[in-house]
Structure 1
Amino acid sequence: MTWIELIIGLALLLGGGEALVRGSVSVATRLGVSQLMIGLTLVGFGTSMPELVSSIQAAVRGAPAIAVGNVIGSNIANVLLILGASALILPIATRKEAFRRDGIVLIGASLLLLVLALRGEIGRWEGLILLVLLAGYVGYTYATERMSSDASAEMHSAQAEAHAAPVSVWLALTLAVGGIVGVVFGADLLIGAAIEIAPRLGLSEAVVGLTLVAVGTSMPEFATSVMAAIRGKGDVAFGNVVGSNIFNALGILGGCALISPVAVSSEFLRFDVWVMVGTAVLLVVFAVTGWRLSRREGVVFLATYGLYLVALLTTNGRGAIALI
């Protein structure tokens, strides 16, 4: 039954997250909200809603290792797995103007998360600071892109258009509300199952958060990015992942810490948080060399993610054998 709950939880997170984004985007469009603002907020952060709700559920249920592991693991998977798969489908062009800004913010958010992890706890004041930084980033991005009307603004508008559903306001509201319900119930099932599964597999809650929970909650980003690549909109896939990772580091941990201080296990400091920072740096290096992600670099991302999972699981004894 636990594994069934896990699968149902993942399905509700994926379906609920997609319904929430499509419904809220449609409502916002009909209310006259600009495509740029919709792309920056509802789409960029909406696809991270499963991570947010799952991490809050884990923190409230006394499993902070799953909450932190979910964020770190999602940021690793978003780059190595999702962008790797997207680049393998179609080389991804990166926007110079936007990435000069977003790349710096991504590295800064990753380093800030590293510093907080080294302190061992993210308190309420730190959580508030993270949320203020996120709000400042969104406000600054919106202001600069609205004034310049550059290619990055077009990309965020394209994100909004890709998620708009041509339905009535009432159906859009139903989708949005149903999506919220699906995400909340899905997160509850997923976290409950993860807490039970961890000891059975001989895995720590941190490892379950880094793998099962992180990959599961990243499925909306995976679906969005892969479909964007198939449709020849690789820049949308790229922007989706970068925006999601920034929101994960600042918004999710900030929100969790504001509700209740989040302890950061020393288990993350031995390996995973360093991989997350290294992944962000590798993304920046690949993005600025030729201002594109090639298929070869996509293969490097995917291979690196495979090596990371092997290294992570083989250091956890029988849990690795159970999962393999």
Structure 2
Amino acid sequence: MILAICLVIAGLVLLVIGGELLVRGAVGLAEKAGVSALVIGLVIVGFGTSMPELVTSVEAAWAGSPAIAWGNIVGSNIANSLLILGAAALIAPIAISSANRWRDPGVAVGASAVLLVLAATGFGNAIVGAALISCLLCYIAWCYHEERLVAPDMIHNAPYDRGQALELTDPGLHAKNGGWTRPALLTLVGLAVLIGGGRLLVTGAIDLARIAGLTETMIGLTIVAVGTSLPELVTSIVAARKGEAEVAFGNVVGSNIYNILGIGGATMLLAPGAVPANLLPLDIGLLLASALGILLLAFLRSVTRLPALALLAAYAAYLGFLILNA
């Protein structure tokens, strides 16, 4: 068991390091190529900061353990909505002032509902996976069109907020000079470290599940999900502490959208099959309920400390239930 735990810890550390190197390299390459800041926020940073979850889920699917992959996706979204948003709002109450504040939480609710339907029907194949990824690309294109072409002075969307949150934690993200070599090396090394970390994490998680007598879904919902959500936790808390609480809100919502449509799509594309039925009704039900809760908070225009405590309490109760029923 000690070896399995060490593999999990080492994998998580490498995922965090690899993700940071990859994002730094990808942003550097994008800037050298003259890509706009909005596109960097929407695509480069959006996908880059989701890489720990993506690599872990893909590795789990390839290792013949799709339950870990889907547990990671569902568990990460629950952790984002309850733990991370609750912690950020507890540090600094979030005022949501964006005129289109309903859009991104609404997309997250729609994606959560689709996942619920897929789990309930047992329908899943490569075509569904490709469709989910296509939906994410359409969403990104929608954000770009609306806020770059329609309202260029009002850039505000969840993927863009993810980029802003990362910049707050990493002031040196944008290199002021230099050639192509450094960002290219960072990108390649980051990818290699991510892949290695993902393999260690999945191997350790599978071994830990077998030794401890836990289901792979349980491991994915807890250890793997919380571990791969650490970048979002750090960036959201830093954003809240620096007075950018609304950016923390967008960071959470954007991560949830990328997880279901992007990572879920990639998982189903590479390992066609149904979403594990044992994620119903509790886990996916809570995922959808938390997405609806975030949409309600967006309409109310704020997340004060009382709702923040309620979110954290809900997550603690959820983890307690999982542990007691393991």
Output the TM-score relative to the length of structure 2. 0.92
Q: Does 1:315 align with 2:325?
A: yes
- What pairs up with 1:70-219 in 2 under 5 angstroms? 70-146=72-148, 147-149=150-152, 150-152=154-156, 155=161, 158-159=164-165, 161-162=167-168, 163=170, 164-166=173-175, 168-169=178-179, 170-219=181-230
Task: State the AA in 2 paired with 1:14.
Answer: V
**Percent of residue pairs identical:** 44
Query: What is residue 321 of structure 1 aligned with on the other side?
Result: none
Farther-moved stretch of structure 1 (262-271 vs 247-256) = 262-271
Alpha-carbon deviation of 1:95? Answer: 4.1
Once the two structures are overlaid, the 10-residue window that deviates more, 170-179 or 157-166, is 157-166
Count of residues paired in the alignment: 315
Distance (whole Å) between structure 1 residues aligned to residue 145 and residue 184 of structure 2: 28
| Alpha-carbon distance in 2 for matches of 1:118, 1:280 | 18
Deviation at 1:159, TM superposition (A): 4.7
Aligned-residue offset at 1:64: 0.9
Match of 1:256 in 2: 267
2-structure distance, mates of 1:251, 1:281: 20
* Matches of 2:161 and 2:209, distance apart in 1: 40
Residue 275 of structure 1 deviates from its aligned partner by: 0.6
The alpha carbon displacement at 1:44 in A equals: 2.1
> 1:14-93 to 2 correspondence within 5 Å?
14-93=16-95
SS state at 1:97 partner: coil
Contact preservation (8 Å) 1:66, 1:208: yes
Aligned to 1:322: none
Q: Distance in 2 between matches of 1:244 and 1:262?
A: 23
Aligned mates of 1:6, 1:21 — CA distance in 2? 22
Q: Which residue of 1 aligns with 2:311?
A: 301
Code of the aligned partner of 1:17 = G
Post-superposition offset of 1:193? 0.4
**Which runs of 5 or more residues in structure 1 are unaligned?**
317-324
* Aligned counterpart, 2:302: 292
Deviation for aligned residue 1:98: 3.6
Letter in 2 for 1:311: F
- Matched-pair contact (CA < 8 Å) for 2:83–2:311: yes
Residues 57 and 263, structure 2, Cα contact 8 Å, conserved in 1? yes
Question: Helix, strand or coil: the match of 1:253?
Answer: helix
Alpha carbons of structure 1 residues 258 and 236: separation in structure 2 relative to 1, 3 Å? same
- C-alpha distance in 1, partners of 2:290/2:126? 27
Does structure 1 conserve the Cα–Cα contact (< 8 Å) formed by 2:102 and 2:295?
Answer: no
Runs (5+) with no aligned partner, structure 2: none
* AA matched with 1:18: E
Alpha-carbon RMSD: 1.7
Instruction: Determine whether 1:229 maps to 2:245.
Output: no
Whichever residue aligns with residue 208 of structure 2, its letter is I
For residues 113-161 of structure 1, give each alpha carbon's deviation from its aligned partner in whole angstroms, at most 9, with x where no partner exists. 1001112242111111111111111101110001202151685773575
Amino acid at match of 1:256: T
- Give the counterpart of 2:253 among 232, 235, 242: 242
